[in-house]
Amino acid sequence: MSTQQQEPESQESPQDPEMKGTESPQQRRLKEKEEGMVDEHAEEEAEAAGETVHIKVFRYDPEVADKQEPRFDDFHVPFEKGMTVLDAVMYARDEFDSSLTFRHSCRQAVCGSDAFFVNGSQMLGCKTQLSELEQPVRIEPLPHQEVVKDLVVDMDHFYDQMHAVEPYFQDEDTPAASDLEEQRQSPENREKIKMSSRCIWCGACMSSCNIAAGDNEYLGPAAINKAYKFAMDDRESEEIKEHRLRILEQEHGVWRCQTQFSCTEVCPKDIPLTEHIQELKREAVKKNLKFW
């Protein structure tokens, strides 16, 4: 197992100057986490005592005849201080079963490829400390998405929804290449869309949303948040904003959100998703409200 340990939490600490002002649900969640868990001392002791962590990993392999029936495999991974869920499954793969399959890349909560369903909740494997979890740690693929193999789910539908909101900057009045100038954004506007721009396309929010689970056409929290980022960006023209709102106010757009807050609670980047969806609902109403 790699000795390199990153501290993904530090990036997201509640003291983050980006997150001043009133306490968001995410901040509160982080605070609770910091207060209640990760007891450094206990971690060191566990490590010194040579303890192992018991993980139960969901297994499914369509290509091997006797592995087509989903099951859970148990692994006992030697505990190391600061070990994350991802570290544990990597150890299990490297030392015990090389066929164990999962996605990962950056190992620092940036690439969004290792969202798992750990102990009944969606989280990023590389951002979740094993010491915070109850044992045995159940590691499963994201719910409501088809399982391709072991912890790997089919993300096509999620990406389709993300692309459906045209997630790229559009401006009709983009200056001609010859007289290109900077497209400046006001600090206030930057502040407004900052959180929404943090999405790493991990799909945890979509997987946690019961509405999305019941309605395959629902754009879902991540896609709506992506649309929010652009719709609220002052540099796009009014017409484009209208066009974006038209996409969002469709039957399977923002109105499908029933404010369960599950997405907001699981988002590893602490994006206030429900808040953004509600704001877009209000924008859509404002656009259509006529007093005559």
Residues that bind ligand FES (CB under 6 A): 104-107, 109-114, 124-126
262 scored as a contact of other proteins (CB under 8 A):
yes
Q: Which of 101, 121, 170, 197 binds other proteins (CB under 8 A)?
A: 121
Q: Which of 103, 127, 144, 244 binds other proteins (CB under 8 A)?
A: 144
Q: Which does 114 bind (CB under 5 to 8 A by kind): other proteins, ligand FES, ligand SF4, none?
A: ligand FES
Could you tell me which residues come within 8 angstroms of residue 133 by beta carbon, excluding any fewer than 6 positions away?
A: 85, 118, 119
Between 19 and 202, name the residue whose CB sits nearer to ligand SF4: 202
Q: How far apart are CA 125 and CA 134, in angstroms?
A: 15
Between 70 and 175, name the residue whose CB sits nearer to other proteins: 70
Q: Which does 183 bind (CB under 5 to 8 A by kind): other proteins, ligand SF4, ligand FES, none?
A: none
Residues in 60-99 that interact with other proteins by CB under 8 A: 60, 62-63, 70
101 scored as a contact of other proteins (CB under 8 A):
no
Q: Which of 7, 16, 18, 23 binds other proteins (CB under 8 A)?
A: 23
Q: Which of 111, 148, 193, 247 binds other proteins (CB under 8 A)?
A: 148
CB of residue 105 to ligand FES, shortest distance in Å:
5
Q: Which does 205 bind (CB under 5 to 8 A by kind): ligand FES, other proteins, ligand SF4, none?
A: ligand SF4
Q: Which residues pair with 152 in a beta bridge?
A: 149
- Which burial class, exposed, middle or buried, applies to 28 when counting CB atoms under 10 A from its CB (0-12, 13-18, 19+)? exposed
Q: Which amino acid is residue 147, in one-letter code?
A: V
CB atoms within 10 A of CB 3: 5
Cis before 136? omega within 30: yes
What length does the chain have? 292
Q: Give the pair of three-digit tokens for residue 156.
A: 């096509």
CB atoms within 10 A of CB 183: 14
Between 108 and 210, name the residue whose CB sits nearer to other proteins: 210
* CA nearest neighbour of 157 among 120, 203, 111, 116: 203
Residues in 30-49 that interact with other proteins by CB under 8 A: none
Q: How far apart are CA 13 and CA 30, in angstroms?
A: 7
